[in-house]
Amino acid sequence: MSRLELTSQVLITPRIEETIKALEALKSDERIVKIVKEDNFLVEDAALAIEKAYLASEETTVIILAARLFSPVVQNKLLKVIEEPPPHKEFILITPGKATILATIRSRLPVHVSGDTVSHEDLGLDLLQLSLETVYPFVQEHKRTAATEMKRIVEEISKAAMRSGRFNLDEKTLKLFSDAFMALDMGSPPSFVLNTLLLKLLAKKKR
């Protein structure tokens, strides 16, 4: 990751708590406001962030928003205040997966990816050769995979898809990954979520 600064940006890192501490250590005259969620950043959290942003302040206020997942609904709610922040306000979003950050957010904030997200696990699925023939055995292999573990698999698939350059990763495609996370949170069967994600991703494969 490039040198940390208390300026508006998106930080992609699995080390959320460590990153927040590192940012706090940079504090001099700034005021830091943190809204940190262990899993999903909710619509009410976004509303709170916007409320904090519009509190008048002569000093620079750095609003740190951190969570494992920012849904498209939440990001769209935050978009206006990020696009036109009130005076003396900086926004820092921290999350582990770049794939779930909407293009509209990425176009307005610099995105910095930490070096420790580069290493990745072998999923046992080659996305370069993704086909109906490879999807079925992979889904069968994960028929009994728990939701927590499936979230990790979905995250690894999203990273691999981005690295491959073989998919049309438009905003609609990126939404597939955040939708998968939300479906798992809502109790959908993990193998069903995986199957749906891979089939939709296959449809986005470049010909």
Would you state the structure tokens that stand for residue 184, as one six-digit string?
Answer: 């798992």
* pLDDT tens, position by position, 169-189: 777 777 888 889 889 988 999
Confidence of residue 66 (pLDDT cuts 50, 70, 90): very high
| CA-based radius of gyration for the chain | 18
Q: How many CB atoms lie within 10 A of CB 31?
A: 13
Q: At what angle do helices 147-164 and 171-185 cross, to 10 degrees?
A: 170
Task: Indicate whether 100 and 58 sit together in one domain.
Answer: yes
Pick the last residue of a domain from 79, 96, 117: 117
Would you state the structure tokens that stand for residue 124, as one six-digit string?
Answer: 């046992």
Beta bridge pairs of residue 40: 69
Task: Indicate whether 60 and 101 sit together in one domain.
Answer: yes
Does a structural domain hold residue 100?
yes
- pTM, 2 dp: 0.62
Which amino acid type is present at position 124?
A: G
Q: What is the CATH number of the domain that holds 106?
A: 3.40.50.300
194 contact partners, CB below 8 Å, separation of at least 6:
138, 139, 142, 145, 150, 153, 154, 180
Containing structural domain, residue 16: 9-117
- Count of domains for the chain: 2
The pLDDT assigned to 115 comes to: 56
Does a structural domain hold residue 160?
yes
* pLDDT tens, position by position, 139-160: 998 988 888 888 888 888 888 8
Task: Indicate whether 111 and 140 sit together in one domain.
Answer: no
Does a structural domain hold residue 162?
yes
**In whole angstroms, what is the distance from residue 185 CA to residue 40 CA?**
9
Pick the last residue of a domain from 95, 117, 139: 117
Task: Indicate whether 139 and 75 sit together in one domain.
Answer: no
